[in-house]
Structure 1
């Protein structure tokens, strides 16, 4: 079993089963779907409250989703820590500001990489809020509940991803 954890790439079937089990526990203990976009919004609200005080809690959005640490925020912490531990144990950990594929196909300039990452992050954040959930929320939790809205959202994610990749990698 320990050898499995030391592999650089895990079986998608085992990882998928693990995510499915995590989804069961998410509904069992919190009665909420598995996803990350709300947690990122909560974190931004916590940062905003540090900068501008408690008036953040009076905003309509933060009345529904208070800027506080909950289990979904801790899930993000766990994803980051787990990714680090996994890459360290498997011997694949290294710092990289520009991924090899980006450098090969687009540019080795760190400013261009930053602009792409920032633009992509902003668009993904807006898309997640607009579709009322992130890709993991719709793709894992929404589809497991047979949500038609999630099916449409996931189809949109794939179409947009294919379209964007086609444009970027044909430049």
Structure 2
């Protein structure tokens, strides 16, 4: 039973994702987390003010269940399954992170400077979370979906816009890590 507590190798997780996507395609469903925001807004009555929210949200109950499962799974994984796990980071990366103020780098699963109890006492951290959340939400809406929707569902449907979006996500991630992250921290 210890195998379930460890990260699964790509040759197990990959085929499981493929099997899930094949099942969704067979059932005529599209996977994506950002579409749940539209569903939640529709459930709260946004359809009375905007035509975009006028659709049968009950047809998306299955996707809401996936969203709840992802949140619950993340909570369980973080609080119960990753207690003793620390990612293996290159010593040079750890040194760079330490110079940027991340003293927990290489010692914890996530940086406590951003995700610890004291994170919300810093105005800078709160600003980063609010601006980052806005940019992620805007980007997901502007791109017509989020990373999971485009990279998993869109690419499995061989959609060119999803390929363009995934390339954009990758380039954006490289720019963030190599240019913006050192400036922010």
Q: What TM-score bracket applies, with the shorter chain setting the length?
A: 0.7 to 0.9
For structure 2, which runs of at least 5 residues remain unmatched after alignment? Answer: 85-109
Aligned-residue CA RMSD (Å): 2.7
- Structure-1 separation of matches of 2:59 and 2:128: 30
Q: Aligned in 2, Cα 1:42/1:18: closer, same or farther, shift over 3 Å?
A: same
C-alpha distance in 2 between matches for 1:45 and 1:20: 30
User: After the TM superposition, which segments of 4 or more aligned residues of structure 1 sit over 6 Å from their partners?
Assistant: none
Contact 1:35 1:137 in 2 (8 A): yes
Q: 1:38 aligns with which of 35, 40, 45?
A: 35
**Matched residues in 2 for 1:21 and 1:150: separation?**
20
Choose the corresponding residue for 1:100, options 111, 121, 137. Answer: 111
Alignment-derived partner of residue 82 in structure 1:
73
Using structure 2 for the length normalisation, give the TM-score. 0.70
The separation in 1 between residues aligned to 2:42 and 2:124, in whole angstroms, is: 28
Q: Which residue in the other structure is 1:19 paired with?
A: 17
* Structure-2 residue corresponding to 1:71: 62
| Corresponding residue number in structure 1 for 2:171 | 159
Q: Which has the larger radius of gyration?
A: 2
Residue segments in structure 1 that go unaligned for 5+ positions in a row? 94-98
Q: Taking structure 1 as reference, are residues 148 and 117 closer, same or farther at Cα in structure 2, changes over 3 Å only? A: same
What is the total number of aligned residue pairs between the two structures?
153
> Larger deviation: 131-140 or 37-46?
37-46
Q: TM-score, normalised by structure 1?
A: 0.75
Relative contact order, higher structure (CA 8 A, sep 6+): 1
Q: CA deviation at 1:85?
A: 2.8
- Contact 2:41/2:53 (CA < 8 Å) preserved in 1? no
Aligned-pair CA distance for 1:130: 1.3
